[in-house]
Structure 1
Amino acid sequence: IIQDFITSLYFYSICSFNQYLLSTFNMFKYLHFNILMTLF
Structure 2
Amino acid sequence: MKVLVLTAYDTGENIVEVLRAGASGFLVKDTRPAEELERSVP
TM over 0.5: no
TM-score by length of 1: 0.29
The structure with the largest helix share of the pair is 1
The structure with the largest strand share of the pair is 2
